[in-house]
Structure 1
Amino acid sequence: MSAGQDAITEANTCSPEQADDLCRVWSLFDNSSARIAHLDLGLRLIGSSVGFADVFGLSVEELPGLALVDLVHVRARDTLTSRLLSVARGERSRFSDRVAALTSEGRTCTELTGIAVTDDTGRIDSLVVLLDLEPEPADDTAGSPATDVRKPLTRMEALVLEGVAAGMSTVQLASKLFLSRGGVEYHVSALMKNLEAANRSELVSRAYSAGLFRRGSWPPLVTEGLVE
């Protein structure tokens, strides 16, 4: 019996929303190109599809026993661990967020979705995660903004960018970050130069377009793993 067929029994113990998720997710194990993995409640890999292992330049035989968080950037690990554990404890049935993954090609951003898996008594006994890698930019982007989401910002650049995106003035940022007004303007100017933005509004727009902010966060927060 395939993993996808096993999901039919699994889905019977879940809510309708979870059942739809599980049938879709488990069926992906039958597709070698899918990027999906199975975790125990200690957040260690039990197994994965070939597509998931390929992302990290590993074989499916090498993954069991590895901690999932060891496959993402060090600055993303605490947040990812917290959110996965919230699913494992049943505080939410799933979550989806962008993280910086350490792939075989270097570091890249990926959408990571985690879903709780229950046994036949309805108790959570494991998790599944699904990766959705962001596409590489096309070769003809020479005229586009000089934005590389794989290049980390400094901690101060991230704080300044978050403040600007939240609508804070130079004076407010200077007070919050213990900088002079000139220091704030220096960092804003550097960010505008790097993102080829003409003003603060364009800076924020280009930062969102480049995927520098976490999805759905307010106040805006720079994605974990993109900060040195």
Structure 2
Amino acid sequence: MATTSSTLSSLTSLSSFSCLPVPPSSDAKKAAGAPRSRESAQEFAGSRRRRAYTAHASARDTSVTAAEAEFAALFGLSSGEIYGRDLCDLLLARSPADLRRRFTALTEGRASSFTERVTGRDGIGRTFHAHLTVTAVADPHGPAGLVVLLHRTGHPDPADPNGRHTLSELDARVLEGVAGGASTVQLASSLYMSRQGVEYRVGRLLRRFDAPNRPALVARAHGLGMFAEGQWPPRVLPDFVE
């Protein structure tokens, strides 16, 4: 694919990031040259804006070492804030364990690339869908790093139309741990996540609930009726879990 090859060539030195849109073919240009309606014109413009967003990850632990601002913005983060985040904590796949195995195959040199359908969440908790392509950049001593291309396949899902907050299964477990007084280290151990992954998810919950700190987050979740009454440790009600 033109986008992937051009991006890989520019990132082989691990020092720059560029990801250009795939130029339309001549036939596509002719077909798209004169949209027949305002709706088709908007769809055409939207398709022209779609592209893959680029990041670079460590070959040791799949943590982000650099990213385009647009890549980070997909998750409601800046380029600085996404640094060090574990890609497996940022992205959700149908089988999280399988996604980690595919990353491990790259880092161990048993595969050169893979593509996977994934979902993620933006800064206000909306879900987006994407195709993830990860390629190992090799040097004489083995994988030197991972080039990550994330291609959005649709618009973010709208927030709950009734104004009710719903959480992913993992975010619900994180919120329950915070409500129960668990530390970042304890949450990381119990949920089999990295500490950075826990901090990322807690931070995202804080932003989503407009809470300045963990106690305020728990108070607001209680105020929304998200926890089962009289239960300890706290449990998020199933109605609030996607």
TM-score by length of 1: 0.46
* TM-score normalised per structure 2: 0.44
